[in-house]
Structure 1
């Protein structure tokens, strides 16, 4: 009779282990929710700078980062045109403003902002098409020259905007 109890416990334990293994949950950490049976290609046009103030390296850094996000976080093939997904637009703003003022009336902090206008077309489901603006900003101490900090700040903001665009287009949160 004791061996029957042991067999029942062993059977229950094995059943529990099988049940736990069968009920696994899968997560995608990049957030992409793409039906790769329908969507195989993406085209990302170069975004020209249409802002009043132009910092030439900004366009190159932004264009490369945006393409990299899709290539690194999806299985989509990057093509020059006629893709299943199309991303295009322009950099519409590169501005700096005095953010905070000290007691003596001089600026203590400067806010640098990048704004990008994006047109997204999903040729497999046009209900997902949109045109939207994305932006990011960073502040820096007004005792520093913009030329001393802008490359680092641009790197951060470009990454943030590229992630925003990625999430809006293929993450479907």
Structure 2
């Protein structure tokens, strides 16, 4: 019985650690498949073109994207567009919509949705480049004003979009 338990734990450990190697010949950090020849990255400021405006959204989104690539990859951030990888785009949507209407035509719940168009240019491997829109949302009580919940839900939505963009670029999803 003790031998069987040891064998199961050993097999589980073997399978767990066998997935920790590099992917596609690149280094693997937090699941990243950034190739070693990709050295520099430029993330441009994301202007806010959404009809409904949040004055700090552009800066918060840009800094969050820069931080995730700085912290989870070995890429060096640059301030010039001659980088190996370039990320640019714009905020295209910042919308509030009712989700659950009560019998008195009042929303029981609202949804804030943020959409961001991202252009990713890989100057080393152009087949990896893309132009895509990423969207995320969070619901909040219908009794609350957007201004009351914005400081709580906007960072959550930005983090979801950050993770979507990171996965699309660094994990090739």
Q: TM-score, normalised by structure 2?
A: 0.83
Secondary structure of 2:53's partner? coil
For each residue in 1:84-131, what CA deviation from the matched residue of structure 2 results, as whole angstroms up to 9, or x when unmatched?
000000000000001110122211111100000000011110011110
Secondary structure of 1:162's partner? helix
TM superposition shift of 1:145: 1.1
Give distance in 2, aligned partners of 1:29 and 1:126.
Answer: 22
Give distance in 2, aligned partners of 1:127 and 1:141.
Answer: 43
Q: 2:18: which partner in 1?
A: 25
TM superposition shift of 1:25: 2.1
Q: 1:51: which partner in 2?
A: 50
- RMSD of aligned Cα (Å): 1.8
Q: 1:117 to 1:95 in 2, by over 3 A?
A: same
Q: 2:148: which partner in 1?
A: 148
Q: 1:123: which partner in 2?
A: 123
Secondary structure of 2:18's partner? coil
Secondary structure of 1:144's partner? coil
Query: Runs of 4+ in structure 1 displaced over 6 angstroms?
Result: none
* Structure 1, unaligned runs of 5 or more: 1-16
Q: 1:134: which partner in 2?
A: 134
Give distance in 2, aligned partners of 1:71 and 1:146.
Answer: 32
Secondary structure of 1:99's partner? strand
Q: 1:3: which partner in 2?
A: none
Give distance in 1, aligned partners of 2:71 and 2:41.
Answer: 13
Give distance in 1, aligned partners of 2:107 and 2:35.
Answer: 50
Q: 1:163: which partner in 2?
A: 163
Give distance in 1, aligned partners of 2:145 and 2:107.
Answer: 13
1:42-81 correspondence to structure 2 within 5 Å? 42-81=41-80
Does structure 2 conserve the Cα–Cα contact (< 8 Å) formed by 1:96 and 1:112?
Answer: yes
Q: 1:102: which partner in 2?
A: 102
Give distance in 1, aligned partners of 2:153 and 2:129.
Answer: 30
Q: TM-score, normalised by structure 1?
A: 0.83
Q: Which has the larger radius of gyration?
A: 1
